[in-house]
Amino acid sequence: MKRTTVQIDQVLYMDLQQLAEQKGKTPTHVIREALAEYVVANREVSKLPSFAALGASGYTDTAERAEELLAQGIGKSGWGK
**Each residue of 26-56: pLDDT tens digit?**
999 999 999 999 998 888 776 777 676 666 6
Helix (H, G, I), strand (E, B) or coil at 13: helix
Confirm if 23 and 30 have CB atoms less than 8 A apart.
Answer: yes
Does the global pTM surpass 0.75?
no
**Residue 54 has what pLDDT?**
67
Which one, of 34, 41, 7, lies nearest residue 19 by Cα? 34
Asked if residue 11 has pLDDT above 70, the reply is: yes
